[in-house]
Amino acid sequence: MLLGHLSICRIIESLVFNVTAKLKRLVNHIRISLGDKKNMFNTKEFIETSLTEIRKTLGQGRVISACSGGVDSTVATFLVHKAVGENLIAVFIDDGLRREGEPEFVMQTLKNLGVKSRYVDAKKEFFEVFKGKTDAEEKRKAFRERFYRTLGKAAKEEKVEFIVQGTIKADVIETVKGIKSQHNVLSQIGINPEKYGYKILEPMRELFKPEVRKVARELGLPKEISERMPFPGPALSLRVLGEVTPERVAIVRKATVIVEEETKGLGTFQNFAVLHNDMATGIKVGARVYGNIVTVRIVESEDAVTAKAKQVPYNILVRIAKRITEEIPTVVRCLYDLTDKPPSTIEFE
Ligand code: XMP
């Protein structure tokens, strides 16, 4: 009986969530159609106001930005660069959890944009804090602690008072609702950044992802940035279920390359691979082996608040499964995730 009530509650909860999101979009659409200028996002105005506010906050002071190369942090970095020029130094922390070729891509992009930047190799320190940790929230906490310590060290070395972060509205909402603690929302999770020796500047915390992309286009950032697929701050650590080790990250990194290559044309919101913590029996080179399981997740979404599992053409899924199990020696099984958000989240952890 109790189980029955719980199921009904979950169904109602899921319906309300979906209907509310759809209603919000519909109301917005009607407003825009009716020419409700007041509620429309004005990109130029946002940029102008932000530049003035950033200059007022920072004055002549130097500032660093934590730039991972994702659309949010790159837009935040470039916005502040536009406001204060050489007083900004973009810091890219290589935590060993980035996708294939990402560190090189980010450093090159910053150079092309004329942003002063610094590469911090922190791979060893990050893998150290993950040792023995398998719980999702514990891993997030470990990542966050290490991230802010590394950033704090860079801030001290650069003698800055402020750090720029690309926090957006969805990060704030999900953290406040307690769905999960986003690593870049500090005050809501009871972290006082001043404890790490600096203050935080978040110029985009009132924007949703589509608005961030509009700002990116208006600022003239390259397509590889403005249309970049969202990628979480804690990176591949969220996609390695269980302990995060260099070897396990290497498996998910390789699977990610395959998923991204095979799904390039789909235009979906996020396409990625996840390495499971348990193992399964399979056959490799004619012998039974106990190997890894990888799940492929491909979702459509507008703002990451809700998402739909993509109905990917079957031949693409088969090709992905074949490549992942052939090109990654330890993987014996490849699955496709059919779940929407809610009840799932986009990431597994
Ligand atoms: P979930 O998994 O909560 O993800 O449905 C919603 C969106 O947020 C991304 N995500 C994160 N981004 N730090 C981030 O910067 C995080 O800790 C984090 N967790 C999830 C996720 O990839 C999706 O786009």
Which is the closest atom of ligand 1 to the Cα of 348? 2
Which is the closest atom of ligand 1 to the Cα of 140? 17
**Cβ pair 263, 336 in contact under 8 A:** no
Is residue 144 in contact with ligand 1, taking CB distance under 6 Å?
no
Which is the closest atom of ligand 1 to the Cα of 347? 2
Alpha-carbon span 107 to 112, nearest angstrom: 9
Could you read off the pLDDT of 298-317 as tens digits, one per residue?
A: 999 988 889 999 999 999 99
Nearest CA residue ID for atom 11, ligand 1: 232
Is residue 234 in contact with ligand 1, taking CB distance under 6 Å?
yes
Which is the closest atom of ligand 1 to the Cα of 230? 24
Which among 346, 348, 349 is the best mutation to test ligand 1's pocket, defined by most ligand atoms within 8 Å of the CB? 346
Is residue 347 in contact with ligand 1, taking CB distance under 6 Å?
yes
d(CA 179, ligand 1 centre) in Å = 10
Could you read off the pLDDT of 176-209 as tens digits, one per residue?
A: 666 555 555 555 445 566 666 678 899 999 999 8
Strand ranges of the sheet holding 88-94, from the earlier edge strand across to the other edge = 117-121, 88-94, 63-66, 162-164, 199-201
Q: Which of the four pLDDT bands, split at 50, 70 and 90, describes residue 170?
A: confident
Read off the amino acid at residue 319. R
Residue 9 is predicted with a pLDDT of: 47
Determine phi and psi for 289, rounding to 5 degrees: -135, 160
User: With the C-alpha atoms ordered 153, 158, 159, 165, is the resulting torsion angle positive or negative?
Assistant: negative
Is residue 71 in contact with ligand 1, taking CB distance under 6 Å?
no
Could you read off the pLDDT of 40-97 as tens digits, one per residue?
A: 899 999 999 999 999 999 999 999 999 999 999 999 999 999 999 999 999 999 999 9
- Residues forming beta bridges with residue 94, ordered by sequence position: 121
Is residue 232 in contact with ligand 1, taking CB distance under 6 Å?
yes
Which is the closest atom of ligand 1 to the Cα of 233? 15
Residue 181 is predicted with a pLDDT of: 59
- % of the chain residues with pLDDT over 70: 82
Is residue 233 in contact with ligand 1, taking CB distance under 6 Å?
yes
d(CA 347, ligand 1 centre) in Å = 6
Could you read off the pLDDT of 233-278 as tens digits, one per residue?
A: 899 999 999 999 999 999 999 999 999 999 999 999 999 999 999 9
Q: How distant, in Å, are the alpha carbons of 158, 236, 295 from that of 251?
A: 35, 10, 12
Is residue 184 in contact with ligand 1, taking CB distance under 6 Å?
yes
More confident residue, 299 or 153: 299
Nearest CA residue ID for atom 16, ligand 1: 182
Residue 173 is predicted with a pLDDT of: 76
308 exposure class (CB count in 10 Å sphere: 0-12, 13-18, 19+): middle
pLDDT at 338 over 70: yes
Nearest CA residue ID for atom 12, ligand 1: 232
Is residue 166 in contact with ligand 1, taking CB distance under 6 Å?
no
pLDDT at 172 over 80: no
> What is the model's pTM?
0.83
Nearest CA residue ID for atom 7, ligand 1: 304
Which among 71, 179, 182 is the best mutation to test ligand 1's pocket, defined by most ligand atoms within 8 Å of the CB? 182
Residue 214 is predicted with a pLDDT of: 97
Nearest CA residue ID for atom 9, ligand 1: 232
Residue 176 is predicted with a pLDDT of: 61
